[in-house]
Amino acid sequence: MDAPLDRLLARFEERVRVLPALAGQTAVEVAPADLVEVVAFLRDEAGFDVLLDLVGVDRLGHPEAPTPRFEVLYHLKSLAGGARVRVHVPVPDDTLELPSCWRLWHAANWLEREVWDLFGIRFAGHPNLCRILCHHRFEGHALRRDYPIGRRQRLDAPEAFLLTDDPEWA
């Protein structure tokens, strides 16, 4: 087990659970309430300075462990050392909400919008949580397992205005 992970476990103890992972990769699970604290620690004290990706997963009908239904995976990478860690966060079924990480990484802005767009998971505190890939009149969330692949939604006119009053987070 590598040093950053040891430090993480020493710091958060049982609030971080190491998951079994394939191909020698490192994966941990944390509760939504601890998410921001854990990733901030990983970024500032363990050197995982890049947020590479956010992956929403819908487990509806999954042969093992279909609950909680949604999970979001945070891929972090340390630019200098090349180490990677994956943080799994189960999404509470009742609120479908996670805290936003946009204050930590600029990259989180679009990535969180994408997870919202395709899975309908909200990110509390996100400054501009609107659709990003599907069009603005789209109803439902396309990558949920129960969204039929062939349900097309026609659009009549593109969104006229994109600028927002916050120049930082357009």
Q: What are phi and psi of 15, to 5 degrees?
A: -75, -15
Does 146 engage in binding with another protein (CB under 8 A)? no
Closer by beta carbon to another protein, 15 or else 131: 131
Cα–Cα distance for residue pair 85/88, rounded to 1 Å: 10
Sign for the pseudo-dihedral over CA of 144, 149, 152, 157: positive
Number of residues that bind another protein (CB under 8 A): 64
Please pick, from the candidates 2, 3, 17, 21, the single residue that binds another protein as defined by CB under 8 A.
Answer: 21
Q: Does 159 bind another protein (CB under 8 A)?
A: yes
Kindly tell me which residue out of 7, 49, 92, 122 binds another protein, with binding defined by CB under 8 A. Answer: 49
The two tokens of residue 73 are: 């995976």
- Write down the residue that tokens 């909680």 correspond to: 68
Binding mask 72-111 toward another protein (x if CB under 8 A, else -) reads -x-x---x--x-x-x------------------xxx-xxx
CA pair distance 40, 52, nearest whole angstrom: 15
Q: Which residue lies nearer to another protein by CB, 14 or 165?
A: 165
DSSP letters for 101-144:
-TTT-TTHHHHHHHHHHHH--EEET-TT---SSS-TT--S-TTS
Q: Alpha-carbon torsion 46, 52, 58, 59, what sign?
A: negative
Binding range to another protein, per CB under 8 A, among 7-15, 28-36, 89-97, 150-158: 150-158
Q: Under the rule (CB under 8 A), what is the footprint of another protein?
A: 20-23, 25, 27, 49-53, 55-58, 62-64, 73, 75, 79, 82, 84, 86, 105-107, 109-111, 118, 126-129, 131-135, 142-143, 147-159, 161-167, 169-170
